[in-house]
């Protein structure tokens, strides 16, 4: 799989070059696999549960409960300071983000999280009352923000702040919005505009960036206080209008390629969903708004497809809960790993890029 680097920045608070002893011999840093190659090894070597409710590699996992069509929905995602927490982010916001990352995956499947488990890895210098209170308050606030409770967890010592969150919820299997299911002709849609997180990170790391105080506040919010589109995901699931869905945490382009791969379709993107603040920021700083929009990542919008006959119902359902559903293109029969943009009258290929651990 072709993977070029995303814009997400490895916010190295410190760089730790280690050699880990394995069975007595030292392994040097070499032949580094990417995150997706590692996941491929997992997929190939694991004995998979027979007739899984959700395909391995979708945003969540699910296990049947009884015979009534209900499934227990499960998800784990780990926040690590080195790659997921910008320098200027408070511990409270980092902890909140660890929950949001996971809730976003539940949102993309249309599942209400019920219970949260937290594996908290602290470096010794954060094992202070002040730091722990900030982290716990951020975790608790985020769980309650999305209607869930933290029911348990584990605390251990790590070199870098590590917050491993697991979610549990229950759903009807038939109501889960999977990555597969998009049909040619379906409308491609997103729940919000993109590029603010990438622009915000750029702004935080490059103090020479030109930005108005109003735009600064918007971009900072996108980085420090991202939101999962849970209410949107829940009403979309209830509407039954969505044919395929995932979140956009690894970047819009990456999500589009994943939906294409899982559904066996292509996409034509006709309107790039770029935020107004990002257009201005890009112009003022000589950056490419399209790049910030497509490859930024760290954004938690839903990317989904809807049958054209159901579009009005789906859009109304999302708007009724205060959200947006923005059509940006359509699914095509050509099973290509390229996207086409017609905004400037020409058709251009968009590379299948996104942030990938170990390659970033």
Does 136 engage in binding with a copy of itself (CB under 8 A)?
yes
Does 51 engage in binding with a copy of itself (CB under 8 A)?
no
| Rounded Cα gap, residues 301 and 198, in angstroms | 14
Beta bridge partners, 25, equal 22
**Beta strand 326-332 pairing with 266-269:** antiparallel
In the list 4, 5, 154, 333, the residue contacting a copy of itself (rule: CB under 8 A) is: 154
Does 337 engage in binding with a copy of itself (CB under 8 A)?
no
If the CB atoms of residues 320 and 358 are measured against a copy of itself, the closer one turns out to be 358
Could you give the residue ranges of the DSSP H alpha helices within the chain?
35-45, 81-84, 91-109, 129-145, 196-205, 213-224, 230-239, 252-263, 276-285, 289-295, 311-320
If the CB atoms of residues 11 and 311 are measured against a copy of itself, the closer one turns out to be 11
Tokens of 133: 């209170």
Does 41 engage in binding with a copy of itself (CB under 8 A)?
yes
Per residue in 194-224, is it b (16+ CB within 10 Å) or e — as a string?
Answer: bbbbbbbbbbbeeeebebeeebbebbbebbb
Helix, strand, coil content of the chain in percent (nearest 5): 35, 25, 40
The count of chain residues that interact with a copy of itself, using the rule CB under 8 A, is 99
In degrees, rounded to 5, the angle at the alpha carbon of residue 193 between the alpha carbons of residues 189 and 196 is: 145
Does 19 engage in binding with a copy of itself (CB under 8 A)?
yes
Place of tokens 């020409």: 346
Minimum distance, C-beta of residue 86 to a copy of itself, in the bound complex (Å): 10
3-state class (DSSP) for residue 290? helix
Does 67 engage in binding with a copy of itself (CB under 8 A)?
no
Minimum distance, C-beta of residue 227 to a copy of itself, in the bound complex (Å): 20
Does 76 engage in binding with a copy of itself (CB under 8 A)?
yes
Does 111 engage in binding with a copy of itself (CB under 8 A)?
no
Per CB under 8 A, which region of 163-171, 179-187, 282-290, 319-327 contacts a copy of itself? 163-171
Q: Which of 323, 94, 327 minimizes the C-alpha distance to 189?
A: 327
Tokens of 255: 């999500």
In the list 2, 51, 67, 124, the residue contacting a copy of itself (rule: CB under 8 A) is: 124
Minimum distance, C-beta of residue 33 to a copy of itself, in the bound complex (Å): 5
| Rounded Cα gap, residues 108 and 245, in angstroms | 6
In the list 69, 128, 316, 319, the residue contacting a copy of itself (rule: CB under 8 A) is: 128
Does 39 engage in binding with a copy of itself (CB under 8 A)?
yes
| Rounded Cα gap, residues 199 and 220, in angstroms | 9
Does 42 engage in binding with a copy of itself (CB under 8 A)?
yes
Per CB under 8 A, which region of 66-74, 208-216, 304-312, 343-351 contacts a copy of itself? 66-74
Per CB under 8 A, which region of 64-72, 178-186, 194-202, 261-269 contacts a copy of itself? 64-72
Tokens of 334: 């050509």
How many Å from the N-terminal Cα to the C-terminal Cα in the chain? 15
If the CB atoms of residues 94 and 236 are measured against a copy of itself, the closer one turns out to be 94
Residues 165 to 194 in contact with a copy of itself, rule: CB under 8 A: 166, 168, 170
In the list 7, 81, 182, 199, the residue contacting a copy of itself (rule: CB under 8 A) is: 81
In the list 69, 156, 185, 308, the residue contacting a copy of itself (rule: CB under 8 A) is: 156
In degrees, rounded to 5, the angle at the alpha carbon of residue 190 between the alpha carbons of residues 271 and 335 is: 70
| Rounded Cα gap, residues 311 and 227, in angstroms | 24
Does 1 engage in binding with a copy of itself (CB under 8 A)?
no
Per CB under 8 A, which region of 62-70, 240-248, 292-300, 314-322 contacts a copy of itself? 62-70
């Amino acid at each position: 799989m072709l993977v070029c680097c995303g814009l997400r920045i490895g916010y190295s608070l410190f760089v730790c070059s280690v050699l880990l002893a394995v069975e007595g011999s030292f392994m040097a840093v070499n032949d580094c696999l990417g995150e997706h190659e590692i996941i491929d090894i997992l997929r190939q070597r694991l004995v998979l549960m027979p007739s899984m409710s959700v395909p391995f590699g979708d945003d969540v996992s699910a296990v049947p409960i009884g015979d009534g069509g209900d499934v227990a929905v499960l998800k784990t995602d780990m926040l690590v300071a080195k790659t997921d927490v910008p320098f200027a982010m408070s511990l409270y916001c980092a902890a909140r983000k660890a929950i949001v990352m996971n809730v976003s995956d539940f949102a993309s499947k249309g599942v209400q999280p019920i219970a949260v488990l937290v594996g908290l890895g602290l470096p010794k210098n954060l094992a202070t009352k002040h730091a722990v209170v900030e982290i716990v308050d951020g975790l608790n606030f985020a769980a309650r923000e999305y209607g869930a409770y933290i029911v348990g967890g584990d605390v251990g010592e790590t070199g870098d702040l590590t917050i491993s969150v697991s979610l549990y919820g229950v759903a009807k299997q038939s109501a889960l919005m999977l990555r597969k299911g998009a049909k040619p002709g379906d409308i491609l849609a997103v729940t919000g505009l993109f590029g603010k997180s990438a622009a915000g990170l750029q702004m935080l790391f490059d103090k020479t960036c030109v930005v108005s105080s109003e735009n600064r506040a918007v971009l900072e919010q996108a980085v420090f206080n991202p939101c999962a589109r849970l209410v949107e995901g829940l009403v979309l699931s209830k509407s039954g209008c969505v044919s395929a869905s995932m979140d956009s945490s690894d970047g819009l382009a990456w999500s589009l390629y994943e939906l294409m791969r899982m559904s066996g379709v292509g996409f034509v993107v006709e309107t790039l969903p770029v935020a107004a603040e990002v257009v201005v920021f890009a112009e003022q700083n000589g950056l490419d708004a399209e790049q910030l929009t497509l490859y930024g990542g760290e954004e938690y919008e839903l990317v989904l497809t809807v049958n054209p006959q159901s579009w009005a119902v789906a859009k109304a359902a999302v708007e009724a809960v205060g959200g947006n559903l923005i059509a940006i293109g359509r699914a095509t029969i050509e099973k290509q790993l390229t996207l086409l943009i017609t905004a400037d009258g020409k058709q251009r290929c968009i590379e299948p890029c996104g942030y990938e651990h170990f390659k970033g």
